[in-house]
Amino acid sequence: MFQLNNKIAVITGSGSGIGKATALLFAKQGATVHLIDLNEEALNTTWQEITASNGKAVIHLCDVTSQKQVLDTFAKIGDINILVNSAGISFVGNIEKTPESEFDRLYNVNVKGVYNSMYAAVPIMKEKRSGVILNLASIANSVGLVDRFAYSMTKGAVYAMTLSVAKDYIHDGIRCNCISPARVHTPFVDGFINKNYPGKEDEMFEKLSKSQPIGRMAKPEEIAHLILYLCSDEASFITGCDYPIDGGFIKLNS
């Protein structure tokens, strides 16, 4: 089950975190994985790990905020069965502490980047009357998070775009879903703690971990397994859905 043999998958943000874990898993399950990221060194690392295990992967250095770059990249790829929009960034601050430059930066990556990739992929999928799109949303779709104003705005937009694409292209054989993780232990989390809490790294890591009722952060690989299911043929009856994967955060954190 959950094999992706002969599938062509495009994964944005595949240089690290959830995107990398998804790329490694998809390649293990038989897909040819097209890796998209801005960080060439990180892309090469992901590519090396995939090919070392006899997986198939192709690197594309691409800025998802540029529609021209995205369209040119997808034109080179050609056929696409699966698109995973994992590229994303965050910013800590409420509305008063969110400058316009940061608001625009998050919008360009988290919203426009997802739009650009779907804008490029949908016509390809529509022509062949099949395809799967999986977007990375967040628990911020469903609950208010402290000091995540701009981030929450972008992930709410991802959720809305997911529903819209699912509705518009259901009769073209295209499925579109999103998932909403709680905190995941990625390089971003480590960088955030090191930058903002020098000398208190262990204490803050423990505090952030326990904000999930389950008592820990998710591993990127755990998120990747849900993505694999939703992009597999076994999930062919699922579209227009958001799946929380949050250690009980939304329902139990009261």
- Residues serving a catalytic function are 151
**Residues pairing with 93 in the sheet:** 148
Return d(Cα 43, Cα 35) in angstroms, integer. 7
Neighbours of 238 (CB within 10 A): 15
- Transcribe 10-26 into DSSP letters: EEETTTSHHHHHHHHHH
Tokens 């701009």 appear where? Answer: 150
The CA distance from 20 to 254, in Å, is 33
In angstroms, the Cα distances linking 192 to 73, 89, 90, 144, 174 are: 31, 12, 10, 20, 37
> Residue 52 CA to chain centroid, in angstroms?
24
